[in-house]
Amino acid sequence: MSDIENGLCYLCGKEGADSRDHVPPKAVLPKDYRSEGEDLITVPAHQRCNRDWKDDDEYFQTQIALAAFTAGDAGKALHSKVMRGLDREEATGLREHIDSGITGTTVLSPDGTVDHNYIQVKPDWQRLLDVIARTGRGIYYHETKNIIPLNVSEKPVVAEPDKIIPIFKSNTDHIRSFAGSSFKYISVMGEEEPHRCGYLFNFFDRLFFSVVFHDEEGSWRAV
């Protein structure tokens, strides 16, 4: 724990930050692929502001891990760690929440016998997007040492792979990559629209999000 830059909490913007928070949540970056310092972004926060997010972070990690299963060794490492964690007694609530998003469908052959079963996982996207919005605020703070005021509205969305993969492919100079490419992002600063900035997030080349911060009143300037 080094400096707590100017004592402002990146979540509420008030003084007296007494801890540091990881953005994105540390748990999505597989341990064997990350190095302390280089791969972990931390920003000052109040413990009380930070603690509110613990369950959401765990849910986020689990959903990323489910998607990362086919994403090379780093993805498999995260997936198997998370699956082991779900067996814990304390994880019952989380497990049930995830199960509630899984639906099974049986496809029958013309003769009425079972052809195949498939399952579909439907995450609680809003819960994931809350983590994405917070990650955006944290990265902005990390890059600029400024806080995005709470009255600046945020718009986190799930990005379609077809649209976002080409952006990552054609902007390789602007990608910041962490923990063996487990997490990558691109900043989109609003040079033409100074009251707007945003980020594109890429987790394991499997799940993509964007978040835009926009000040309608124009009193805030992205730096």
Site residues (vs Zn ion, CB under 5 A): 9, 11-12, 46, 49
- Least separation in angstroms between CB 10 and Zn ion: 8
Collapsing DSSP to helix, strand or coil, 68 comes out as: helix
- Least separation in angstroms between CB 19 and Zn ion: 10
- Least separation in angstroms between CB 213 and Zn ion: 18
The structure tokens listed for 128 are 């994931």
- Least separation in angstroms between CB 12 and Zn ion: 3
Closest CA to 50 of 20, 80, 15, 83: 20
* Closer CB to Zn ion, 4 or 86, in the complex: 4
* Closer CB to Zn ion, 204 or 213, in the complex: 213
Cis status of the peptide bond prior to 194, with omega within 30 of 0: no
* Closer CB to Zn ion, 47 or 177, in the complex: 47
Q: Decide if 23 contacts 139 (C-beta within 8 A).
A: yes
* Closer CB to Zn ion, 20 or 34, in the complex: 20
* Closer CB to Zn ion, 44 or 123, in the complex: 44
Cα angle: 81, vertex 83, 85; to 5 degrees: 70
Q: How far apart are CA 152 and CA 146, in angstroms?
A: 13
Q: How far apart are CA 178 and CA 172, in angstroms?
A: 14
- Using Cβ positions, the residue closest to Zn ion within the complex turns out to be 9
- Least separation in angstroms between CB 153 and Zn ion: 19
The CB density around residue 119, as the number of other CB atoms within 10 Å, is 8
* Closer CB to Zn ion, 12 or 175, in the complex: 12
The structure tokens listed for 113 are 């016998």
Closest CA to 64 of 214, 220, 209, 211: 209
- Least separation in angstroms between CB 103 and Zn ion: 38
